[in-house]
Structure formats: structure tokens, C-alpha cells
Amino acid sequence: MATVIADAPAMRRDERFFLITAIAMALTVVAGFSLQLAAGRSTFASPPLLHAHAIVFMGWVALYVTQNVLVSRDLMPLHRRLGWIGAVWVVAMVVLGFAVTVAMVRRGGVPFFFRPLHFLVFDPATVVTFAGLTAAAIALRRHTDWHRRLHYCGMSLLLGPAFGRLLPLPFLIPWAFHAAFAAAMIFPAIGVAADLRRSGRVHPAWWWGIGAMVACVIVIEAITYSPLGLTLYRAVTAGSPGAAIDPLAFPPPPPGLLITGRSPSI
């Protein structure tokens, strides 16, 4: 009993940390996509597929924050019920993530600061790694310390697109993707620092989560610049405008304002 009482303040500090960082992640996403809209680089006149993708991914952000709020208020039964909804939600995220990527590559609509083949690989690979971290977090749900940290790393991995809209990616060619990924790694770094400050040690879940994120980038690079990547690109773009585009060359900048998702062909 004394151990439980002694651990209670530490658990509360943990809950506050994950709630505050969940809100910070959500604000990062809102800031990134709001800036895109305010700058005229996005439009609500996008095709239905992009709207579905946006709703599902933003829904996950809202769910992640809600789950942390429920934990902080000790509403664990509702937290657990929503957790199973989240498990199904991830499947929809993977499906829509793949669908939007393939549609953009096939129509030749990859942003000009990404190589088309690189984009084709890194978008799905990122979503799959997020899904893997989330599945691991669910499997370890009875181990709260692991559960929280793995979910946190998975959520961090999804912040790349938000940071990509906050960073001047056209000026970061050829490192645009890597810059957005490095920015997303700020949150796991904060988690490691918070553990060190609170307990003087780093929980092993951080190393597994960060290791999965870094491994994702290594796999992306390996596939992109291999014969497998070229074969994949040809298979995906066969019979589409994307087939005529050099998969490893940066597309030319658009003559006017780049507006995400404006093409009706998605």
C-alpha cells in the first residue's frame, strides 16, 4: 500500500505530461493545416477522397487528446471503450493513407519538393509504422508506462505533414522529407528529457518507439533507391500520367500557386 501511495504523485505527473503534450501535438496539427488554408495553398473544394482522409486523420488527433483527458480525469471505463474504437479507426487511416498516396502519384500530383518515388514509399511506410506502434501500445495496454509512450511515439510520427506545412520545404530541397521527420522527432526527445528529469532514467519504451521511427526512415531510403522501388513505382503508375514522370527527379514548381488536392482526378 505504501508503494502505491508513493507512486501516486509520479503517476499524476505522468498523466499531466501526456495530456499537455497531446494538446501540444493537436495544436501543431491545427497550426500547420490552418497556415496552409490561410496561405491559399489548400481548399475545401477538394475531391471526396481527400476530405475522407482529412476527417479520419483529424479524428485520430481528437481521439488521442480525448483519451488523455479521460485518463487525467480517471474515467477509465470510457477510455477503454474508446480505445477499441481507436483500434478500428487505425485500419481506416491505413486504407485512406494508401489510397490518397497512390491517387496523387498516379495523377502526377506529388508536391514538387518531393521525389515521386520517395513520396510513394514514405507516406505508406509512415502510416504502417504508426499502425504498428499503435498495435503494440494496445497489446501492452495493461502496462500503462509502455502503453502511453508507444502511443505517443506513434502520434509523433503523424506530425510530419503538419510540420511540413509549417516549414519552408521548397527551400529545403532535397531534404524536405527529412526536415519534417526531424521536426516530428522533437516530441519523443521531449519525452526522453521528461523521463530523465523525473526519474533520472529513460524508460525503454522510448528506445523502442524512437527505434521504430528511425527504422522506418532507413527502410524508406532503402526501398526508394533500389530496383524494388522502381518496380513498385512502375506497377502503381501503369496507364496513368504518373508513368511519364521521372520517379527520382523533383517535379518542376507549378506556374501558379500550389493548391493541395485541387485536381478532380483523385
pLDDT band at 33 (very low <50, low <70, confident <90, very high): confident
Count CB neighbours of 8 within 10 A: 10
Type of residue found at 118: H
Quote the pLDDT of residue 116.
97
Using CA atoms, how far apart are residues 233 and 246, in angstroms rounded to an integer? 10
Give the pLDDT confidence score for residue 8 in this predicted structure: 59
Q: Label residue 264 by pLDDT band (50, 70, 90).
A: very low
CA atoms within 13 A on the CB side of 258: 14
Listed by start position, the domains of the chain span: 10-242
Instruction: Tell me the average pLDDT of the chain.
Output: 90
Query: Per-residue pLDDT averaged across 235-240, rounded?
Result: 97
> So what's the pLDDT on residue 254?
77
Three-state DSSP at 259 gives: coil
Here the contacts of 94-98 (C-beta below 8 Å, separation 24 or greater) are: 94/127, 94/128, 94/131, 96/49, 96/52, 96/53, 96/56, 96/57, 97/53, 97/57, 97/123, 97/124, 97/126, 97/127, 98/124, 98/127
pLDDT band at 35 (very low <50, low <70, confident <90, very high): confident
Q: Grid coordinates standing for 259?
A: 493548391
**pTM score, two decimals?**
0.90
pLDDT computed for residue 176 by the predictor: 96
Q: What is the mean pLDDT of residues 221-244?
A: 97
3-class DSSP state of 110: coil
Predicted confidence (pLDDT) per residue in 74-86, tens digit? 999 999 999 999 9
Task: Determine the pLDDT at residue 3.
Answer: 36
Q: Is the pLDDT of residue 7 over 90?
A: no
Question: pLDDT for 187-228, tens place per residue?
Answer: 999 999 999 998 899 999 999 999 999 999 999 999 999 999
Q: What would the mean pLDDT of 171-190 be, rounded to a whole number?
A: 97
Residue 258's pLDDT band (cuts 50, 70, 90):
low
